[in-house]
């Protein structure tokens, strides 16, 4: 019995050609006719396969031109993964998994920062803290400064994967959280913990830095859960 390839199967086969080095960035794919013959399918299926490859950031398909192989950037790859993962993080269980991953990542990074952060990198964290201090009563503006602090921390190891993980998952998680009623008090407490983290980094006290970061992240997530419980209670009352 002959197996009929789907567009997804063809996209995987062509992606394998790229990963195996048979096709390199800048190379043109075979023509539609040649691909139809190779895979034993019609033009519609081949076009669907190219659309899938576009979603994988592996093809440049400009109008009127034969598709070419491209090398996706890390940012493009992570953006695609982030969009797909949004459905996983819609419920509280998914958010809890993300929070746990964030806690593991950021406590590891702050321990690394104690030993390796440069003066310029610490200054960038301090700059974000100063920006946050100036906008404690503004929920949205504080989130921006808060995110910049945590992004500055992610930049310390010099590994673009950590920065992309922050941009794709952590920043989105932070921005999706509801603004608290006591926004100024909440933000002041949060930013004071940022100051404590930097102080521990300057003192070369890795255990203290990890302790503060753990408290900071777990407390913020606890606040989110309290808000979720309050919202659920209000819905039941109504």
127 and 56 share one domain = no
122 and 218 share one domain = yes
pLDDT band at 235 (very low <50, low <70, confident <90, very high): very low
Task: Answer with the one of 18, 48, 69 that is the final residue of a domain.
Answer: 69
The answer, yes or no, to whether residue 137 has pLDDT greater than 50, is yes
The total of structural domains in the chain comes to: 2
Residue where the block lists tokens 């997804």: 8
| Residue 72, both tokens | 């996706």
Q: What is the pTM of this model?
A: 0.68
Residue 200 lies in a domain: yes
pLDDT band at 190 (very low <50, low <70, confident <90, very high): very high
Q: How much is the pLDDT for 220?
A: 67
Q: How much is the pLDDT for 1?
A: 45
Q: How much is the pLDDT for 6?
A: 93
Residue 172 lies in a domain: yes
99 and 210 share one domain = yes
230 and 134 share one domain = yes
130 and 172 share one domain = yes
107 and 176 share one domain = yes
pLDDT tens column, 19-40: 888 999 899 999 999 999 999 9
DSSP H stretches of helix in 20-138? 32-39, 43-55, 74-85, 92-116, 119-133
Task: Answer with the one of 42, 69, 96 that is the final residue of a domain.
Answer: 69
93 and 200 share one domain = yes
Residue 1 lies in a domain: no
Which residues form the domain of 207? 77-237
Of the chain, the end-to-end C-alpha distance in Å amounts to 59
CA–CA distance, 237 with 229 (Å, rounded to integer): 12
pLDDT band at 133 (very low <50, low <70, confident <90, very high): very high
């Amino acid at each position: 019995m002959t197996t009929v390839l789907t567009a997804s199967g063809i996209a995987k086969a062509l992606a394998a050609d790229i990963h195996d080095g048979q096709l390199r960035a800048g190379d043109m794919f075979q023509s539609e006719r040649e691909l139809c013959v190779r895979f034993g399918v019609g033009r519609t299926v081949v076009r669907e396969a190219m659309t899938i490859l576009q979603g994988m950031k592996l093809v440049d398909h400009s109008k009127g031109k034969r598709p070419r192989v491209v090398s996706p950037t890390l940012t493009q790859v992570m953006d695609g993964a982030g969009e797909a993962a949004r459905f996983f993080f819609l419920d509280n269980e998914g958010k809890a998994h993300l929070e746990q991953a964030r806690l593991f990542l950021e406590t590891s990074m702050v321990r690394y920062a104690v030993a390796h952060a440069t003066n310029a990198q610490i200054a960038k964290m301090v700059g974000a803290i100063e920006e946050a201090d100036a906008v404690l009563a503004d929920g949205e503006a504080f989130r921006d400064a808060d995110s910049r602090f945590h992004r500055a921390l992610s930049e310390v190891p010099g590994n673009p994967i950590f920065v992309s993980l922050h941009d794709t998952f952590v920043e989105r998680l932070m921005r999706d959280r509801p603004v608290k009623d006591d926004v100024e008090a909440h933000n002041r407490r949060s930013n004071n913990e940022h100051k404590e983290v930097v102080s521990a980094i300057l003192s070369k006290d890795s255990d203290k830095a990890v302790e503060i970061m753990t408290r900071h992240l777990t407390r913020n997530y606890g606040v989110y859960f309290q808000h979720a419980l309050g919202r659920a209670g209000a819905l039941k009352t109504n």
